[in-house]
A and B are shown apart, each in its own frame.
Chain A
Amino acid sequence: MAKGNGKQHSAEASKDELLQYYRDMLLIRRFEERAGQLYGMGLIGGFCHLYIGQEAVVVGMQAALKDGDQVITAYRDHGHMLAAGMTANGVMAELTGRSGGYSRGKGGSMHMFSIEKAFYGGHGIVGAQVSLGTGLAFANKYRKDGKVCLTYFGDGAANQGQVYESFNMAALWKLPVVYIVENNQYAMGTAIQRSSSETHLHKRGISFNIPGEEVDGMDVVAVREAGRRAVERARAGEGPMLLEMKTYRYRGHSMSDPAKYRTKEEVDDMKAKHDPIEHVKKLITDAGHATEDDLKAIDREIRAIVSESATFAQESPDPDPSELMTDIYIEA
């Protein structure tokens, strides 16, 4: 498999596609900024891991999917859910722990799910979702339903043993799963070169005969192209691929991490030169698909959606106390 070089694919996206990607990525960014603000106001508690900077990965991958294909990820999950079509209202209300949230307030930021959108969470234990995603793919093959499961994990998670146990089974049984490692270069305060003997994570599948590809995760079109290749291959019964998305998180690991382990210059450089939203914006304006004013109108639309979600998330009532003892077992 040839190495993907993002930029050369950019031209292949149509006007409508680019505008859609712009809108989807902007929704994630504005949503996350607002979530950060609500956290600062004490309306969101616990852990809250923002996805700002990584938006092109989920938006590009989602564009490679068909309806019914599954997605599973870890705790940095707000972007994945919005990209999968879950509503801003439902996600924000879960962040505030209210009854209008996707888990009716019982899961919080790290644990949301939607059967309707085939989003399987939302998992807090680093690496655990990789085996679960492999199992979703096992079920797809078992049922011969033609579905593919996207299984996301981080560069830090790439060191968990169950990732490799899963790789082996997925390749052995040619399961329809695509592994996406979101290499944002840090696991909490640990830069990848301090934790990994092989830092080119797309090579981590080699000994299982899983082909890997390094992808510019800041370029939504490059992501989509790589995603399409991997998803098609999985759907055709040829087994898993491992896509390494080179990306970056702008914010700290979670809300209260001042991120002293990296320089301000490094972060500023990423924001200034590699921002995924600026990138797609430039593709749009360079091609004359839209004017600055058209894009401003989209901004306003997105802002309205996000504001509404913040209001909804504060007005939605607390879960009823009876919720404490429901959903523990299914009546049998």
Chain B
Amino acid sequence: MTQILMPALSPTMEEGNLTKWLVKVGDTIEPGQVIAEIETDKATMEVEAVDEGTVTELLVAEGAQGVKVNTPIAVLSGEGEQPSPLPRGEGAAQRAAGEGRSDVRMTESARPADRPSPPTPSPQGRGGLIPQSDPEIPANTQMIKVTVRDALRDAMAEEMRRDDRVFVMGEEVAEYQGAYKVTRELLQEFGAQRVVDTPITEHGFAGLGVGAAMAGLKPIVEFMTWNFAMQAIDQIINSAAKTLYMSGGQIKSSIVFRGPNGAASRVAAQHSQDYSSWYSHVPGLIVVAPYDAADAKGLLKAAIRNPNPVVFLEHEMLYGQEFEIPDVKDWIVPIGKAKVRRQGVDVTITAHSRMVGLALKAADELSKQGIEAEIIDLRTLRPLDTDTILESVRKTNRIVTVEEGWGQSGVGAEICARVTAEAFDYLDAPPTRVHQVDAPLAYAANLEALALPSVEKIVDAVKAVTYR
């Protein structure tokens, strides 16, 4: 006797609907045979049998909603045997812990650890979350909840409506609606001339994009992930970043290169790299890496309007996260300005992209222990808003930088160098960096967790610089 279990379609799926049984009690089934259809909010998929045997019982009725993954849904008699997860299996436990990843094209909820908990008012008034500090939000503006994914999509759609020179190209951006669904419905609104599916030819289409920009169009080049832009990095740096200079100011490339950057979940070394420091090394490029939906939208719109080549680093683990975003007509966030997300007097923490969420979590943790951290979301990595960082460090006298990528020659290294040079006299502790360990990212769940920055590592670093 074998039980058939409710399968997960992605590691982040926890439950689904059983929309249809394609077999009935008494049927003999073979491996590979489609036995049922299940549905999540993202997709409908077929369940195939792995074992052969006769269906003796259907445990879950057709149409059942919210069937939990790994629940027995049917019983087979026969020679096949389905393994149940062995006790030490990390599967269910891991899913419950939310260490999910999305697969290309399915989306995901972010690791719960990323989610900032609601602001904890600090008793002493020495620190606390700044819910919305952007001066550019007019009073009485309504806030709406939007995912980072939709914020990016809306930014592109609005700019495409506004300027017919703007077009988007990349792998699977049109008919497939984007590998991560960021370009959803753009093809339907703007047509195939402006939403262009490319072959898998990163070096070629990045160069083509730069050429089109030289001719005055405004391309948005999507890389399915930034890992694949390494095929194209020559065009980004040698052509896009340098031609203005080499031509004595004649040739402009107003172009946005965008896509998810950094580690997803368990996609191993070649698919998990943070390119923040790589691109922020290069004069001629603007490098942006937003955290929440409001910045994702406002900065992407600013990037599209910017006359320079912009490298726009998104994060797959943030795409599905919802944030409040001001409901104003033309929401633009200026490039080159960091944002103080939380005020505090004891230590300055800088972070960008997904790391901002971890830093906010760490700040809550630290606040409980009497340490008030000031969190600076860098937002733009080049030009780096050194003034905001220095101003904070002059107040807190301590700095911890956080980034997802490697430490050597990293964003944190640059910040620490600037702080040391320009606020040396204010420092009460050595500037300290939190970053990925100095190794390629492993696939194994335990090694991956050890390698990446975590709330705990940030808390530890802050305690070290505050001598607690």
Contacts and interface: CB of A to CB of B under 8 A. Distances in A.
A41 B11 CA distance: 8
Interface in B269-303: 269-271
B445 interface: yes
Interface stretch (B1-9, B149-157, B349-357): B1-9
A109 B268 CA distance: 9
A29 B33 CA distance: 13
A288 to B, nearest CB: 24
A36 B48 contact: yes
B101 interface: yes
A300 interface: yes
A30 B48 CA distance: 12
A231 to B, nearest CB: 28
- Which of B199, B269, B445 gathers the greatest number of chain A CB atoms within 10 Å? B199
Given A106-B442, A318-B444, A324-B450, A189 B172 contact: yes
Interface residues of A, number: 66
B222 to A, nearest CB: 14
A212 B26 CA distance: 51
Given A111-B443, A314-B83, A256 B9 contact: yes
Contacts of B179: 188
Given A40-B9, A110-B270, A256 B443 contact: no
Contact of B231 (A36, A47, A52, A160): A160
B48 A254 contact: no
B185 to A, nearest CB: 15
A134 B268 CA distance: 25
B200 A160 contact: yes
Interface string A81-98: 000000000000010011
Contact of A33 (B48, B171, B176, B443): B48
A131 to B, nearest CB: 12
Interface residues of B, number: 71
- Which of B79, B104, B197, B228 gathers the greatest number of chain A CB atoms within 10 Å? B104
A38 B69 CA distance: 12
B175 interface: yes
Interface in A20-59: 29-30, 33-34, 36-43, 45-47, 52
B201 interface: yes
Contacts of A307: 81, 83
A45 B265 CA distance: 8
A256 B204 CA distance: 29
Given A41-B5, A47-B267, A319 B447 contact: yes
Interface of A: 29-30, 33-34, 36-43, 45-47, 52, 94, 97-98, 103, 105-111, 123-127, 156-157, 159-161, 187-190, 194-196, 253-258, 260-261, 300, 303, 307, 310-311, 314-315, 318-319, 321, 323-325, 328
A257 B43 CA distance: 8
A124 B271 contact: yes
Contacts of B7: 37, 40-41
Contacts of B85: 41-43, 314
B438 interface: yes
Interface string B68-98: 0110000000011111011011111011000
B50 interface: yes
B437 interface: yes
B443 A42 contact: no
B445 A97 contact: yes
A98 to B, nearest CB: 7
Contact of A315 (B86, B197, B200): B86
B444 A97 contact: yes
Contacts of B439: 324-325, 328
B420 interface: no
B466 interface: no
B416 interface: no
A110 B437 CA distance: 22
Given A126-B228, A314-B89, A29 B199 contact: no
Given A188-B179, A195-B200, A324-B450, A45 B270 contact: no
A321 B8 contact: no
B176 A311 contact: no
B43 A324 contact: no
Contacts of B208: none
A257 B105 CA distance: 7
Contact of A189 (B175, B198, B437): B175
Interface in B134-173: 171-172
